[in-house]
Amino acid sequence: MPLFKEELRYFVSAVLDEDIGTGDLTTLATIPADATLKAEMNARETMVIVGIEIAAKIIHTVDSAIKVEILAQDGTEVTPGNVIMRLDGNARNILTAERSALNILQHLSGIATLTRQYVREIEHTNCHLLDTRKTIPMLRKLAKYAARMGGALNHRMRLDDGILIKDNHIAGIGSVSKAIQAAKSYGTNNSTIGITVECDNLEQAEEAVNSGADRLLLDNMTVDMLFAAVKKYKGKVKLEASGGITLKTIKEIAETGVDYISVGRITQSAPAVDIGLDYLG
């Protein structure tokens, strides 16, 4: 479970408050109070399941008496027609919980599914896929969990997880070397990324390495530039490629020999997968 118990309780409560308000008027008006229902959540495309326990928690928060059978754990890849969850209980409460449970399951599974596609393109190399901080506000912990389930490694969770000097920091202080010197003087360098510097060209990369950077973020560089950076700096610093990388381009970039590739779109713009809740009567 990616959330601590209290975090999960708060998240589920906020989700249901947002969706239900003072009551599900349509269901209350049309479904008898004592009606029961059996239903199945079915995959309608190939996907990596993530968020199944959260979906179950949403359902049980609405009605703890609903029987929930989980048939696909987080990280499991399923194909169209696979049943991932069965429900049996009060019809009103299943209908009321349906959309909130599906929303989070479809969103997180979408992230994991897209991530898995990227990972498969580079699994023949020694390069690792990284996520970024490009996430929907308040859903970062869940989005990064989904990326992990898809096979990526997590980059910084928050700004206090490490120093990453980007172009605007460099512009603000005047140069790459000045930015690195200031970062070293600040005294915080205990993260896994060390002092990372975003470099737009090989001249900046040279300045960063000579000034003591631990890692280079090679931003929007051509394949030829990446090859040159790998040839000169591999083993001296960690090398991370980033910027506009797609499923069509990631393989070629990984084959340059960079250590990491960071892709914002796996959390920023992954499409939700298609999961249906089908009623059995």
What six digits make up the tokens of 159? 């700004």
> Quick check: is 198 catalytic?
yes
Pick the catalytic residue: 86, 120, 166, 178? 166
What six digits make up the tokens of 47? 């996907």
> Quick check: is 166 catalytic?
yes
Alpha-carbon gap, residue 204 to 224, rounded angstroms: 16
Would you call 86 helix, strand, or coil by DSSP?
strand
Beta strands of 109-199 (E only): which ranges?
Answer: 128-130, 163-165, 195-199
- DSSP state, 154? P
HSE-CB for 167 with a 13 A CA cutoff: 6
Pick the catalytic residue: 98, 121, 131, 198? 198
State the CB neighbour count (10 A cutoff) for residue 4: 10
Report the amino acid identity of residue 273: V
Pick the catalytic residue: 131, 219, 240, 259? 219
Pick the catalytic residue: 38, 86, 120, 134? 134
Query: Does residue 185 come out as left (phi exceeding 0), alpha (psi in the -120 to 50 range) or beta?
Result: alpha
> Quick check: is 99 catalytic?
yes
Would you call 29 helix, strand, or coil by DSSP?
helix
Pick the catalytic residue: 86, 99, 140, 184? 99
- Paired residues of 276 in beta bridges: 42
Tell me the CA distances in angstroms from 191 to 158, 170, 180, one per residue in order.
12, 20, 15
> Quick check: is 120 catalytic?
no
End-to-end CA distance of the chain: 31
Catalytic residue list:
99, 134, 166, 198, 219
